[in-house]
Amino acid sequence: MSRRGGVAEEIRAEMVANVMSVVVAPGARVTDGDTLVILESMKMEIPVITEVPGTVTKIEVSEGDVVQSGDLIAVVD
């Protein structure tokens, strides 16, 4: 979901992957292009970035979690 008119951006997994690292915490200010989480799939590191500036209101994953395609990773408001 894109941020339009005050609506939060939900960042979701695009593939099955392991959560390698959580880079930000709730309350962190981020800008377009900032990395929130680093996923690992097939020995590749995949940064999960935000496309909007704002405040991270939720991080729904922890290091070591496995995410499925479509799973909620974070919310930026």
Domains of the chain: 9-76 (2.40.50.100)
Q: What is the pLDDT of residues 67-77, one digit of tens each?
A: 999 999 999 99
User: Residue 6 pLDDT > 60, yes or no?
Assistant: yes
pTM: 0.87
Q: What is the pLDDT of residues 24-62, one digit of tens each?
A: 999 999 999 999 999 999 999 999 999 999 999 999 999
Q: What is the pLDDT of residues 10-27, one digit of tens each?
A: 999 999 999 999 999 999
Predicted confidence at residue 8, as pLDDT, reads: 87
Which tokens is 73 given?
Answer: 């990773």
Chain Cα centroid distance, residue 14: 11
